[in-house]
Amino acid sequence: MKVLLPALVTFLLLCRSACANFLISEGTGARCVIIQQSGATATETNAATDLCRTLDAVSGATTSVIEEGAQNRYEKWNQIIVGPGALAAKYFPEVHLDQFGPEELIMKVKGNKLLLAGGRPRGTMYAVNRFLQEQCGVRWWTPWADNLPRRMPDDFKEVLKVGNLNIHETPAFEYRGPYWFPGFEPHWRAHNCANNESWMIPEDLGGCIYYKGFCHTFYPLVSPAEHFATHPEWFSLVNGKRTHEGAQLCLTNPDLRKYMVQQVKKWLRESPGAKIISVTQNDNAGWCECPNCKAIDDAEGSHSGTMIDFINYVAEQIEPEFPHVWVDTFAYQYTRHPPKHVKPRANVIVRLCSIECNFREPFTDASNADFLADLQAWSKICQHLYVWDYSTDFSHYCYPHPNYFVLGPDARIFQQYNVKGFFSEGAYAGQGHEMAELRAWVLAQLMWNPKQDDKKLIREFVDGYYGKAAGKYIYDYLQLMHDESKGYFLACYLRKEPPYAKFTPLAKAELLWQAAEKAAANDPEKLIRVRMAHLPVLFVWLDNWQKLRHECWEKNGQWPIALSRKAVADQFKQIADGVPGKDWTQVRVLNERGVQVSQWLADFQKDPPDLGPEPPHRVWNPRPPADLPKPPRRAVDLQDNMANIYKPGEYSEIRYDKDASDLRAIWMPGTHTEWAFRIEGTKLPKRAQHGHWKIYAVIRVEKNENCPPDAGAFSAGIYDDAHRDFVANISPRADQTGPGYRSYLIGEAKSTPDRDVWVSPSGSKYIKAIYVDRIYMVPASK
């Protein structure tokens, strides 16, 4: 036994060492001090103060920040050493902070010392912020909403401690820009480690990577107003003519090159803090087609040939005076494909732009194959590759845009291909845009470390920002929008109606938001957040009101919101007006063009005249037309909901009609002659796409007073798309129609997938409207 005791004691000591914790507070009493070292920068001083304030908020204790030299009085206390300096070097000699990069950080415990430090200018601040987030559970969701560590164990208020830390981190991307309006506030950006220059971060919060110019700087650098009259050769030759309208610069012109160098140097001398200068093409096409430019572009296989050749010249010329400045240019639209031979110089940044992509899918998807190929190719030739990505719908800021679940995969793709800078352009014109707060926060986390579980981050945000009770419904909404958008090309400018804007998915989305509001009802602050996030779904209801009403009727659905469009518009306005004193609750702008909420809502101040109480449900499998002989069982009933209708709400629309066989008919005013009702042959049931049929149109004609007997009532026909020929057509007179629905024989014809059935009004002033109930096909003998 005596032999075993030393070994046992050693084992217990090792266990104690391995399980040792760095105690920060116990009960409401602090068990550590924060040491601010002499020579600390303003950023490091602010970091120590912020650490103290946040730890006190988390623990309920009162922590002290002491200056270097006073630490001996607290020798028995745990001590947090903030930033580089003599104490860091004394107690952590193995950590060479003087060799750290500008944002490299360390969190390390040794005995009763915890080092939170990093390189300058931002490393120490990020060490503090990452410590508070990763070790203490603090979250800065938005500038107006944070989360003190509700994720800590139940007894965290009694004991706040961290383990035997030794964490050494460097951000995945040197330039990190989550460009969303809720992420513009400097303190939020410092806390979440964003360092781009939009809405400058003051130096005492670490500053930022400062661009001079930023984008589309050709004409700001070389003004057409000043130079085109005297130097037209400096501007693009397009279709044989020098022009500055919708054009670019002539990048091979030697005098233009010299002038550009002068301008770049002038800009940099005016802005000595700039680390990057933007020399970037205008936001249009119009590249130069002169022989010299064309020769380079042809040889390089891309218009990026002249661009990189030009930028290399500028970068080389300014390097002696500005050795630490990068010259930045775009791989954007017509310059997106990389050149075959020329490579960017070591002091050149190329920003690859993804504007043409499908943002519903990751860049590894087949729909984005061209962009991925460009990313791969640029990564091989460019030492400093940045990406300008797009994460909103610029034409509809307040519209569902289900790219939520590609943010993580795309960030990891950028890291895989050695991208150095990551800028994500979102809705930047104001508050209240679709999932703006979520995207800003999630993107900031992924820009620091793309290897995090992005779905976990999203779920954490919705639970933390909206409250866990509401968050589960909101996460289900995100998943719903993602699922319903499968197969849809999600551009950053809305191209066509997305599938999730149809009645069935939108009704499901609406019920989820109503459930989220109910779940948040007892927390006024979180209820405001939930209601604001509900706005995009309300936007879709209002923007597609009549179509959605008709779809609801079509599907025998339950209308989930008020039957009055004006009432829903008033609800939207009430939410968008916000809460006095809370600027973040006020929604003003709806898209990049600056359309105001008040302008958009002006169209909804009255309910449409044709919208009344919700009609009875559609009748399925109605009886055959009463005015036809009893048809055989093989007859085919093509109801109005099979038709393509033209200009819904103006030239045609599905309306409730108590006299129609299924209680629905397609209304068309008598004022036009368009084929506003058309059933394509390819949409017919398979058995109706061949064989001989008698084809009837079941129509009701509504005449004006004093309608003459010979007035045209309507036209109907069968049209062969393959042969561009009419197979049959009729144009009944007013006296051949009756007061109710009648079956009109269009003709007896062979059916094929190429043959469509159409109906149009006559364009007569004597016909108020026609109503098409259905097309009825009866088998005919050959």
> Angle 123-134/42-59 helices, nearest 10 degrees?
10
Structural contact between residues 179 and 208, judged by C-beta atoms closer than 8 angstroms = no
pLDDT top residue among 127 and 19: 127
8, pLDDT greater than 50:
no
| Secondary-structure breakdown of the chain: helix, strand, coil percentages, each rounded to the nearest 5 | 35, 20, 40
6, pLDDT greater than 50:
no
Quote the pLDDT of residue 153.
Answer: 45
For residue 114, give both structure tokens.
């915890």
Amino acid at 288: C
Q: What is the pLDDT of residues 123-148, one digit of tens each?
A: 999 999 999 999 999 999 999 999 98
Amino acid at 330: F
Q: What is the pLDDT of residues 185-217, one digit of tens each?
A: 999 999 999 999 877 899 999 999 999 999 999
Provide the Cα torsion 357, 362, 363, 366; round to 10°: -80
Spatial distance between the Cα atoms of 386 and 377, rounded to a whole number of angstroms? 13
Segment holding 750, helix H or strand E: strand 742-750
Confidence of residue 15 (pLDDT cuts 50, 70, 90): very low
Alpha helices by DSSP H, listed for 629-756, are: none
Question: Which residues share a beta bridge with 109?
Answer: 114
Quote the pLDDT of residue 671.
Answer: 93
611, pLDDT greater than 70:
no
Spatial distance between the Cα atoms of 85 and 72, rounded to a whole number of angstroms? 16
Quote the pLDDT of residue 12.
Answer: 31
Closest CA to 402 of 463, 484, 470, 515: 484
150, pLDDT greater than 70:
no
Quote the pLDDT of residue 291.
Answer: 98
Segment holding 259, helix H or strand E: helix 254-270
616, pLDDT greater than 90:
no
Q: Considering the chain, what percentage of its residues have pLDDT values greater than 90?
A: 84
Name the burial class of residue 526, with classes exposed (0-12), middle (13-18) and buried (19+) by CB atoms within 10 angstroms of its CB: buried
Confidence of residue 27 (pLDDT cuts 50, 70, 90): confident
52, pLDDT greater than 80:
yes
Task: Calculate mean pLDDT across residues 649-676.
Answer: 93
For residue 233, give both structure tokens.
């050769």
Structural contact between residues 222 and 267, judged by C-beta atoms closer than 8 angstroms = no
Quote the pLDDT of residue 154.
Answer: 47
CA 364 to centroid of chain Cα atoms: 18
Task: Calculate mean pLDDT across residues 242-254.
Answer: 98
- Cis status of the peptide bond prior to 182, with omega within 30 of 0: no
Q: What is the pLDDT of residues 60-72, one digit of tens each?
A: 888 999 988 888 8
Confidence of residue 10 (pLDDT cuts 50, 70, 90): very low
For residue 147, the 8-state DSSP code is E
Strands 742-750 and 692-703: antiparallel
Q: What is the pLDDT of residues 413-433, one digit of tens each?
A: 999 999 999 999 999 999 999
Name the burial class of residue 226, with classes exposed (0-12), middle (13-18) and buried (19+) by CB atoms within 10 angstroms of its CB: exposed
Give the 3-state secondary structure of residue 80: strand
Spatial distance between the Cα atoms of 607 and 603, rounded to a whole number of angstroms? 10
Tell the residue number behind the tokens 């919101």, with chain if given: 561
Structural contact between residues 221 and 266, judged by C-beta atoms closer than 8 angstroms = no
151, pLDDT greater than 90:
no
For the chain, how far is it from start to end, CA to CA, in angstroms? Answer: 109
Q: What is the mean pLDDT of the chain?
A: 93
Structural contact between residues 494 and 487, judged by C-beta atoms closer than 8 angstroms = no
Q: What is the pLDDT of residues 546-604, one digit of tens each?
A: 889 878 877 778 899 999 999 999 999 999 999 999 999 999 999 999 999 999 999 99
Quote the pLDDT of residue 271.
Answer: 95
Segment holding 518, helix H or strand E: helix 503-519
Q: What is the pLDDT of residues 71-120, one digit of tens each?
A: 888 888 999 999 999 999 999 999 999 999 999 999 999 999 999 999 99
Structural contact between residues 663 and 704, judged by C-beta atoms closer than 8 angstroms = no
